[in-house]
Amino acid sequence: MRICMVTWEFPPRIVGGIARHCYGLSKALAKKGHEVHLVTLDFPGAPFYEEVDGVKVYRVKVELGHPNFIVWTLLFNHFMEKRIAMINRDVKLDLIHAHDWLTAPASISSKHYLGAPLISTVHSTEVGRAQGLRTPDSYLIDGFEWWLTYESKRVIVASNSMRYEIEEHFHVPSEKIDVIPNAIDIERFQRHVDRVQVRSKYGVGMDEKLILFIGRLVPQKGVEHMIKAVPDVVREHPEARFMIIGEGWSRGYLESLVASMSCGDKVRFVGFLPDQDLVDLTLSADVLVVPSSYEPFGIVALEGMAAGVPVVASNVGGLSEIIEHDKTGVLVYPRNPRSIAWGINRVLSDPAYSSRLIQNAKRKISEIYTWDAVAERTIKVYERSMGG
């Protein structure tokens, strides 16, 4: 099959899980002999065209700008659409696969003029991310999301909670939706790291307990609630050190929250880290916390599980489908600092319990969440959409 993957995020343009999802899926599809043409946006230092693990990557140069984000989105979609048309001149594309609303206009137009089926993956929704539609921009984005699901022949989501969300909110017929979970490259986490060296690079000793948060610093990720849990954890485990990795528009607020706390010195903001450093730190941590209040899937929880780190996560969305409480991780109440602190303390206080969680989680990961399995299921969706 000749597949055109359309996404606004692809490494090194990484913010959330979409970039890693598109990379993992495209690479697995190419490995199975499919021709994957991936159209994305440019990023400083990245080439406009390259082949990455068998995937043909086209980074579109956006030649026009506009201060309004929605207008800018329409502009870059115009350039993506032109690029897709140019690719189709050389290669007859069999289908378009769009990821989230940001590439909806280019993908929908391409579907119509190429006469190729459109498949979309809805990674999250505006109504979920913003916990309601409170601004004119939110209403517009919500409209784009509905339009994409309406125009798509099939809609892929990563969890049952997302299936219910789009059925309920966009009235997408149930028979049009496929649930295919996310996956990770397990090999990335199957290597030895010098924990002493990695931890000392970030000022954390081996006699301390390293508690990680990895993700975008935005309200839906619940970092604020984890920060408010710090005093309860430190009271029981004075050796606890929290490290917050990632970027986001809430960072200023979160830093001021930490600064106002008496145990603020126990928390460090690291910012964005390249993949290698991220893996090293995950492999060197004692606990990974995923305190989201909204999480359609939660790929970072899988990464923690693969790295052999006990995961403490909110009992919401995809996280409650990935993690079995007391078996493969600890589920806590969302938006509840006391519950988060309880989960962290439970893991830190009982090494035998912690290693049981780790063993169970590793087994589950290697059985279900592989890109090879995701690619197999995605190909079936493609075949179905092409009438096969």
Partner 1 sequence: MSMNGEQIPDEIYFLCMLHNIGATMPEKSLSVDEISIWTAMDPSEVEVNLQKLVKSKYISVNTAEGTKRYYVTTDGIRKVLSMYS
Binding site for partner 1 (CB under 8 A): 8-9, 13-16, 18, 43-45, 62, 64-69, 71-72, 100, 102, 129-131, 134-135, 137, 141, 216-220, 247-253, 271-272
Nearer to partner 1, 89 or 134 (CB): 134
Nearer to partner 1, 8 or 213 (CB): 8
> What b-and-e string marks burial along 316-350, b requiring 16 or more CB atoms within 10 Å of the CB?
bbbbbbbbeeeebbbbbebebbebbbbbbbbbbee
Token reading at 281: 């730190």
38, 58, 93, 282, 352 from 87: Cα distances, Å? 10, 9, 8, 39, 55
To the nearest whole angstrom, how small is the minimum distance from the Cβ of residue 145 to partner 1?
Answer: 12
- Within the chain, how many helices (H) and strands (E) appear? 15, 14
To the nearest whole angstrom, how small is the minimum distance from the Cβ of residue 19 to partner 1?
Answer: 9
Nearer to partner 1, 147 or 353 (CB): 147
To the nearest whole angstrom, how small is the minimum distance from the Cβ of residue 54 to partner 1?
Answer: 26
Nearer to partner 1, 215 or 329 (CB): 215
Estimate the crossing angle of helix 351-368 against helix 299-306, to 10 degrees: 110
Among 94, 97, 101, residue whose Cα is nearest residue 77: 101
Per the CB < 8 A criterion, the answer to whether 55 and 36 are in contact is yes
To the nearest whole angstrom, how small is the minimum distance from the Cβ of residue 383 to partner 1?
Answer: 30
To the nearest whole angstrom, how small is the minimum distance from the Cβ of residue 161 to partner 1?
Answer: 18
Helix (H, G, I), strand (E, B) or coil at 319: helix
To the nearest whole angstrom, how small is the minimum distance from the Cβ of residue 8 to partner 1?
Answer: 8
Nearer to partner 1, 19 or 323 (CB): 19
Nearer to partner 1, 109 or 220 (CB): 220
Nearer to partner 1, 186 or 267 (CB): 267
Angstrom distance (rounded) from CA 254 to CA 249: 10
Tell me how crowded residue 254 is: count the other CB atoms within 10 A of its CB. 20
Nearer to partner 1, 224 or 286 (CB): 224
Q: Concatenated DSSP letters for 16-76? A: SHHHHHHHHHHHHHHHTT-EEEEEEE--TTS-SEEEETTEEEEEEP-----SSHHHHHHHH
Q: Give the single-character DSSP code of 325.
A: B
Per the CB < 8 A criterion, the answer to whether 322 and 379 are in contact is no
To the nearest whole angstrom, how small is the minimum distance from the Cβ of residue 159 to partner 1?
Answer: 18
Nearer to partner 1, 211 or 223 (CB): 223
- Give one word for 52, left, alpha or beta, with left for phi > 0 and alpha for psi -120 to 50: beta
Token reading at 353: 């319990």
What are the phi and psi torsion angles at 210 (to 5°)? Answer: -95, 115
To the nearest whole angstrom, how small is the minimum distance from the Cβ of residue 268 to partner 1?
Answer: 16
